[in-house]
Structure formats: C-alpha cells, structure tokens
Structure 1
C-alpha cells in the first residue's frame, strides 16, 4: 500500500512545519521532566549513576550526602550563558523551567511514591528508557535539561552530530569517574542504563528527522 502512495523514486510528501502552541510546550515540559524524575528516583534508589549534569549531581550526592536536587540546579547555572548565546532566549527559558521542574520533581517524588523492592537491572533499563523518552520530549519542544544537553543540541544543530552519540561520550566519562564513589556492580548497571538512554535518543532524534526547532 505504501508503495502505491509513494512509488519508488518519488520524493516523499513534505509536511508543513507546525509550531508548538504554548499549552503544548507546558504539557511537554511537565511530562518530560516527570518521566526523567521517575528515572532519577529509580537510579538513586539502586545507587546507579547517569550522565550529564545529573550524573555530576549524583556523584556529589553519593560522595557528600548533599541534596541531589539542589546540587543539580546549581551545577546547571553556568550553562545558561551558552544556551542564551547559541540557542536563543526561548530555548534558554524553557531549559531553565525544565531544570527547575526536574529538581522539584526529584525532591518531591519520594514523598509521592514508595518502592519497597526494586531490581537493579530493572532500574537501569526502565530508568534509562524513562529518562531518554523524557529528554526526547523536551528536545522536540526546544528545551533541554541544561548542562551537556545544551552543548549536545548545539553541536547537532551546528555540525550535524547525532545528539545521542555525543551525549553517550559525555555520559561514559561521567560513569568512569563514578568508580571513586560506587561499586563495580553499580558501574556495570549504570553503563547499561546509559546505553539504553542514549540509544533512545540516537534512534529517535536524528538530523533530518524531528529536530529541536
């Protein structure tokens, strides 16, 4: 049937570009950050590490006991200058809102749900999928979770580098640094979680498909 609609050699029809409406952006920010926050809760309960500024916040949280949400929010502050210069005011404002929402959700969610038993393997896979899907939602509404996400999106728009692959490189560096604060088992499961997260982005967020514009 698809061959009849688009015979071989014919160009696929070009769909018109439709901007997201404000209420759609609000829904996406809430949904995306809620998904990521649930993944963060799964990782935190099982002692796993993720990448990006969230990974740095995890490292400091595990090493010092500092509040994850506060550390995550503060770490992202230096990146807003790059976001404003390279990605524009709208992107920066949405990213600031997303970071604040994630910090709040990650702080409050343990009061909303309580998990008595959680497999580390399940947390790695489900948490990676949740965080990857949440980040994808944010990317598609021209927002991010700050930090490396800002740099990754700029590199994709500027040079065409795949967001998932670049993010994976950063995440692997964070996971390697985690050897100082968590055990081998947590590192191995964290690597799996990082692969699941970034494969979600690499498959669904490619140049020429649905970009963060």
Structure 2
C-alpha cells in the first residue's frame, strides 16, 4: 500500500520572530502604500476600507491617510475579541504606517502620466502582494480584511472570496463618483487583488 504523502499541516508550526514581524510590517505597509499611490494618481478605486477612504478623499477632499486611519477605528473591536490582542496591535501599527507612508510617497514620487486602467490593475496587484506579507505575519489593514480573516479562521470561508464580494459592493456604491470605464477598471483591479489573496493566503499551504 502506498504511503500517504505528508502534509505541511502534519509538521510543527514555527512562529515568526519579533524582528521578522517588524520587518514584515514595514515592508508590507510600504508595498501597500505604494499601490495606494498608483491608484490615487490614476484616479482609480479599490475595495475594503482603502476603497472607502478613496471615496471620502474624492468626495470631500480629505487626505487619504487621515480618512483611512479614522475609518478603521471601529473595526478594532472585532480583532480584539476574536483574533487576539497581538493582531490588534499589529493591525493598528499597519494602518498607521500605511496612512503615513501613503502621504510620504507623494513627497518622493509623482507620476506625470499613468493610464487609469494600468493604475487600477497594477496598483491592486501591488496591494495584494502587500496584503499577503501582512496576513502571513498575523496583521491586516483593519476593516473588511479583519472580517475576512475572522470568517476564514472560524468558519472556513476563504478570505479572498469574502473580500471580493465586499469589494464589489463598495465599488458599486462608488459608481456615482467615477466614470464607467474607470469603474470597470477598478472592478477588474479588485478581482486581481482578491485572486492574489485567495491563491496565496490559505491555512492549508502556509503555516508560519
């Protein structure tokens, strides 16, 4: 009889060291904030609390970093009660860093011309890569990503699928603020982002 192939889940889990978590927070938030900068300069949108912050930015002129930080505040209780104090602390730091870095990128980078469709697709792909770095170190960017992680860890519903549904609802709500071509590009970008998350953030594949 053939011996069953060993699963990664059969082995012990090796937790990340504290300095690895610190580096992941810095790298992940830098990557996410760069993706945010691409979306902003292209006039595109995304989902999640970042999408809500973009809506507030486009509708009222409030700075993205300020809106992003404030919108995430009410979601911390879910992380505190269901995902642990350590994740709340990491998420709070991650949200603060993205809010800060998103404003700092504008000091160092200004794109003279960027195609909105390219900005929507590539910007969301960059966001997805940054999310994976944060998720794998038990951090998130608050808001809907906390809800998605909670549903995956407690009810087995894939985080990428949950996030995609939420993102599409947020983008539909933003249709009055952007042109139809830009909305289509933003929806395509949301699909790219959540496909990256769904493929790469799975508890049966990554254990650290």
TM-score range, shorter chain: over 0.9
Q: Which residue in 2 is equivalent to 1:88?
A: 84
Structure 2 residue runs of 5 or longer lacking an equivalent are none
Count of paired positions: 206
CA displacement, residues 153-182 of structure 1 (integer Å, 9 cap, x when unaligned): 000000110000000000000100111111
User: TM-score, normalised on structure 2?
Assistant: 0.95
Q: Compute the RMSD of aligned alpha carbons.
A: 1.5
| Counterpart residue number, 1:3 | none
Q: Which residue of 1 aligns with 2:124?
A: 128
Q: Which residue of the partner structure matches residue 107 of structure 1?
A: 103
Q: 1: distance between equivalents of 2:148 and 2:78?
A: 12
Q: Which runs of 4+ in 1 moved over 4 A?
A: none
How do 1:177-192 residues align onto structure 2 when only pairs under 5 Å count?
177-192=173-188
Say if 2:28 and 2:134, in contact at 8 Å, map to a contact too. Answer: yes
Relative to the length of structure 1, the TM-score reads 0.93
**SS of the counterpart of 1:180?**
coil
- Structure 1: give runs of 5+ residues left out of the alignment: 1-6
How do residues 152-167 of structure 1 correspond to structure 2 at under 5 angstroms?
152-167=148-163
Alignment of 1:15-94 (within 5 A): 15-94=11-90
- Cα distance, 1:8 vs. partner? 5.9
Give 1:207 shift: 3.5
**Counterpart check, 1:169 vs 2:160:** no
Q: Deviation at 1:46?
A: 1.1
Say whether residues 1:11 and 2:37 are aligned partners: no
Q: Which moved more, 1:7-16 or 1:75-84?
A: 7-16
Q: Do the aligned partners of residues 62 and 8 (structure 1) sit closer, same or farther apart at CA in structure 2, a change above 3 Å counting?
A: farther
Correspondence list, 1:142-153, <5 A: 142-153=138-149
Deviations 1:65-92 (A, max 9, x none): 1111101100100111111000111000
What do residues 28-65 of structure 1 show as CA deviations (whole Å, max 9, x unaligned)? Answer: 00111111111101111111111111111101110111
Write the deviation string for residues 131-190 of structure 1: whole angstroms up to 9, x where unpaired: 001001100000000001111100000011000000000000010011111111110110
1:8 to 1:198, Cα distance in 2 relative to 1, 3 A: farther
- C-alpha contact 1:124 1:192 (8 A) present in aligned 2: yes
